[in-house]
Amino acid sequence: MKTNKIIALILSFVFIFSLAACGSASAPAPAQAPSESVAEAVTETAVEPAEEVKSFTVGICNYVDDASLNQIVENIQNRLAEISAENGVEIKIDYDNCNADANVLEQIVQNFIADGVDLMVGVATPVAMTMQADTEENQIPVVFAAVSDPISTGIVASMDAPGANITGTSDGLDTAAVLKLITAADPEADFVGLLYDVGQDASTTPIAEAKEFLDNAGISYKEYNGTTVDEVSLAVDSLIADGVDAVFTPTDNTIMTAELSIYEKLSEAGIPHYCGADSFALNGAFAGYGVDYANLGVETANMIAQILLEGKDPATLPVMTFDNGTATVNTETCAAIGFDYETIVAAFEPFCTHVVPIETAESFS
């Protein structure tokens, strides 16, 4: 009996001790305060303000959908994207195309003003003129692209000191240089068709220069005009019927728009079409001579950056011009009208810095 009590007592002590041990093992450790250095780091991280990215909005209006002007717009947009990345800023693009409609153009410009854009870009003379007129009071900076004669159109006071709130890039044409290619390719050419839109300001000066050059050279000429693709096509029918030896067109956006519709007629008639930009040759014309529009677009974007990021004043930022000197020859059209490409290259080289081959396409790749 005593033995049983002793065993029971021992078991009781073992049970109580086990409960105490379990309770001690399950008790949570007291929380420790963060060290002073950790606390300071947390505080500094929490109060450090985020750096604000500068943002600008640029409104771009294109005059018409053609290879020349589209190439300019594409290169403006691409270069502005590069500038944004290089400088850690945001340049938003608001793009529209008026498709040669004056009423639509006016509405686009008014929308840019209402939206509070920081700068406008006018691609081609009519757009630049509208932007110039509509920003006289608000003085929103305007940068134009591919304005052939910014002085005679009254857009700028001078090329070196544009004045007011507008400047840009000019694709002014060396008309005599283009016309010299006609007799270089065909020394017997004595009748030239002047194909252009009388409503295009870009054509006014070059056509006057062409008449003077041809008069001095003793070469006869006739003018053919159109303001739509259909009218241009009918004008081409007329010049073919008249038997011209060659056709000259300056940097005329109406003819540029129609080129894909007329180049086959001219090729079949054996008539070379000489034009004021490489994009005409891209769209089927025999030869384009003049400004590199891809480079013009890049330089236009650089001027935009000078105004927005560097605070340059458009009134004192000189209009940028470019050396003419590259003849672009459409090799398919060259063969179709009966010329040998290598012979043409040799004939053109004395009058050009470069002669570049191209094939017919709707747009530059």
Reference 256, options 173, 161, 356, 158; nearest CA is 173
The pLDDT value recorded for residue 168 is: 98
User: What is the reported pLDDT for 323?
Assistant: 82
* Tokens 């034009």 sit on residue: 275
CATH number for 55-171+293-316 (one of 3.30.450.150, 1.20.58.100, 3.40.50.2300, 3.50.50.60): it is 3.40.50.2300
Q: Is the pLDDT of residue 71 over 70?
A: yes
Residue by residue, DSSP assigns 290-347 as: E--HHHHHHHHHHHHHHHHHH---GGGSPPB-----EEEEEHHHHHHTT--HHHHHHH
Task: Report the range out of 3-7, 42-46, 109-113 with the highest average pLDDT.
Answer: 109-113
What average pLDDT does range 216-239 have in this prediction?
A: 98
Bridge pairing between strands 119-123 and 55-62: parallel
CATH of 175-290+325-358, one of 3.20.20.70, 3.40.50.2020, 3.40.50.2300, 3.30.1360.70: 3.40.50.2300
Tokens of 331: 């090799």
How distant, in Å, are the alpha carbons of 176, 198, 304 from that of 158? 23, 25, 19
Backbone angles phi, psi at 140, to 5 degrees: -65, 130
Give the C-alpha separation, 149 to 58, whole Å: 24
C-alpha distances out from residue 3 to 7, 13, 15, 17, Å? 6, 16, 19, 22
Q: Across residues 218-247, what is the average pLDDT? A: 98
> Using CA atoms, how far apart are residues 123 and 69, in angstroms rounded to an integer?
7
pLDDT at 143 over 90: yes
More confident residue, 147 or 53: 147
Domains 55-171+293-316 and 175-290+325-358 share a fold: yes
pLDDT for the residue numbered 27: 40
Q: Which sequence spans correspond to the domains of the chain? A: 55-171+293-316, 175-290+325-358
- First-to-last alpha carbon distance for the chain, in angstroms, is 109
Instruction: For residue 66, give the amino acid letter.
Output: D
Mean pLDDT of 104-133: 98
Instruction: Grade residue 13 by pLDDT with cuts at 50, 70 and 90.
Output: very low
Q: What average pLDDT does the segment 128-136 reach?
A: 97
In this predicted structure, what is the pLDDT of residue 176? 95
Residues 255-267 pLDDT 10s: 999 999 999 999 9
**Rounded to whole angstroms, how far apart are CA atoms 281 and 272?**
11
Residue ranges of the alpha helices (H) in 54-200?
67-87, 102-115, 125-134, 175-185
The half-sphere exposure of 83 on its side-chain side, counting CA atoms within 13 A, is 25
Average pLDDT over residues 104-129: 98
Instruction: Please name which of 319, 322, 320 lies closest in space to residue 291, comparing C-alpha atoms.
Output: 322
- Whether 316 and 208 have beta carbons less than 8 Å apart is answered as no
Q: Are 63 and 69 in contact (CB under 8 A)?
A: yes
Supply the pLDDT for residue 33. Answer: 43
pLDDT at 22: 39
